Amino acid sequence: MADVILSSPSTTAASRPGEGRAANVPSSGLRWDIIELLFFAYRDFVGDADQELEAFGFGRAHHRVLHFVHRYPGLKVADLLDVLRITKQSLGRVLKQLLDEGYIVQKAGSNDRRQRLLFATPKGEALVGKLATLQTERLNRALRGIDPAGLETIRQFLRAMIDRDDPDKVLEAIFGLAPSGPKHKEQT
């Protein structure tokens, strides 16, 4: 693991008397306060699951694949690529390991036998449940004491952070959007 060396990101903020480095909105207009909170919140949110996954020789990519396959049974491999926004090669390595170790099964589509539909096995569902429990406990601790209006504000903020210009099948389901037409992708 690489050493992390912290230095002052801005000598101007640190050199002004009475001003902390984590000012809400610095004069530069950059949202360092929210950016850093998101970094640390994400680090700790996924960190709970990372520790559990390490025992299986899995990483975050395995977690994401298992999560979406469990939540959307019968998800096509092509749709999973869209959701994760990764290459076939990246998914192939992770998916092969999950298939080989019995966390996911792959079935041919009933209408189109060329389709590869993914399903979590009971073993995969158990692991996803364990990881989701860890993350739910962290969320519940963080949300404790926040009223329903505050929770809705958090949901609105998180939805607004998601780029929806090119929604995938999962985002369409989450946002209740009508299925999008054919996507225009660059040919590689």
Q: Is the pLDDT of residue 182 over 90?
A: no
> Which residues face 116 on adjacent strands?
108
- What pLDDT, on a 0 to 100 scale, did the predictor assign at position 14? 44
In 3D space, the residue among 61, 49, 119, 54 whose CA is nearest the CA of residue 85 turns out to be 61
pLDDT tens digit sequence for 84-116: 988 999 999 999 999 999 999 999 878 877 888
> Following DSSP, what letter does each residue of 37-105 receive, concatenated?
HHHHHHHHHHHHHHHHHHTTT--HHHHHHHHHHHHSTTEEHHHHHHHHT--HHHHHHHHHHHHHTTSEE
pTM for the predicted model, two decimal places: 0.76
- What pLDDT, on a 0 to 100 scale, did the predictor assign at position 175? 74
Q: Is the pLDDT of residue 1 over 70?
A: no
- Residue 185 pLDDT class (50, 70, 90 cuts): very low
- What pLDDT, on a 0 to 100 scale, did the predictor assign at position 173? 76
Q: Which residues contact 48 (CB under 8 A, 6 or more apart)?
A: 131, 134, 135, 137, 138
- What pLDDT, on a 0 to 100 scale, did the predictor assign at position 164? 74
pLDDT tens digit sequence for 36-92: 999 999 999 999 999 999 999 999 999 999 999 999 999 999 899 988 988 999 999
110-122 b/e (C-beta count within 10 Å ≥ 16 → b): eeeeeeebbbbbe
pLDDT tens digit sequence for 150-177: 999 999 999 888 887 766 777 777 777 6
- Please provide the average confidence, as pLDDT, over all residues in the chain: 83
